[in-house]
Amino acid sequence: MRRLLRGHSPDGRRVVREAESDLTRDVSYGFPEWGIPDAPGGYLDLHKFAVTQRDLFRVLNPIPGCPQALRRISKLGVCIRIITHRLYIKYFHKQAIAQTIDWLDHHGIPYWDLCFMEKKTQVGAHLYIQDSKKNILKLTSEGSECITFTNSTNRHMEGLRANTWEEVEAIARDRYSDWRATEWQGVAR
């Protein structure tokens, strides 16, 4: 979810730009277009540097419209769970968690739960919002409904899609309305 809320461009490019200049926004998984796999230590070392030395999770700007859309969705009564797998690099979990919470609070992003976990399907949400091809495929293969938030790594994929947070909000409102109607059918009046 971290890329989904913050995006990997343009702010994520700031750390890499310390060594490189013209970085494309049209990237694929692992950022080979930026030369990351060939750099000393590859992605993991760059990621660790960005979090521990540049406060990556604290300083990035949210994708336009994200905080506002999530606040409106939350006001409907939707319980927002943020699921992120930020703890996959050892020895700096405290920094990753603290930066994440600071960032969410600073931008006024509402949430009921903040889950740091790889296996997102275990959360059991009614609707997921995801931009990672791997996670989209896993969620949909297990029968979960998932909004694919478009980026350069997933634009070729089929399925429920949103290009902006306003589109995410419209889909979430529809699904929530449908869910509420279904839930009320089983309640004796």
- Round to whole Å and give the CA distance between 182 and 123: 21
Q: What is the mean pLDDT of residues 175-187?
A: 79
- The CA angle 67-161-80, to the nearest 5 degrees, is 35
User: What per-residue confidence (pLDDT) applies to 9?
Assistant: 45
pLDDT digits (tens, 9 = 90+) for 14-67: 555 555 557 888 877 778 788 888 888 888 888 888 888 888 888 899 999 999
Q: What is the mean pLDDT of residues 153-174?
A: 96
Q: What is the DSSP string of 70-89?
A: HHHHHHTT---EEEE----S
- Model confidence at 182, in pLDDT bands (50, 70, 90)? confident
pLDDT beyond 50 at 3: no
- Round to whole Å and give the CA distance between 177 and 173: 6
The CATH class that applies to domain 2-185 reads alpha beta
The domain spans of the chain are: 2-185
The 3-state DSSP class for residue 165 equals helix
Helix, strand, coil in percent for the chain, rounding step 5: 50, 10, 45
- Model confidence at 116, in pLDDT bands (50, 70, 90)? very high
- Round to whole Å and give the CA distance between 111 and 36: 33
Looking at every residue in the chain, the average pLDDT score rounds to: 85
Q: Say how far residue 44 (Cα) sits from the centre of its chain.
A: 18
User: Helices 93-106 & 42-54, crossing angle to 10 degrees?
Assistant: 60
The 3-state DSSP class for residue 161 equals strand
Where is pLDDT greater, at 49 or 2? 49
Q: Where are the beta strands (DSSP E) in the chain?
A: 81-84, 113-116, 128-130, 146-149, 161-162
Tell me the whole-structure pTM to 2 decimals. Answer: 0.81
DSSP letter, residue 98: H
User: What per-residue confidence (pLDDT) applies to 8?
Assistant: 47
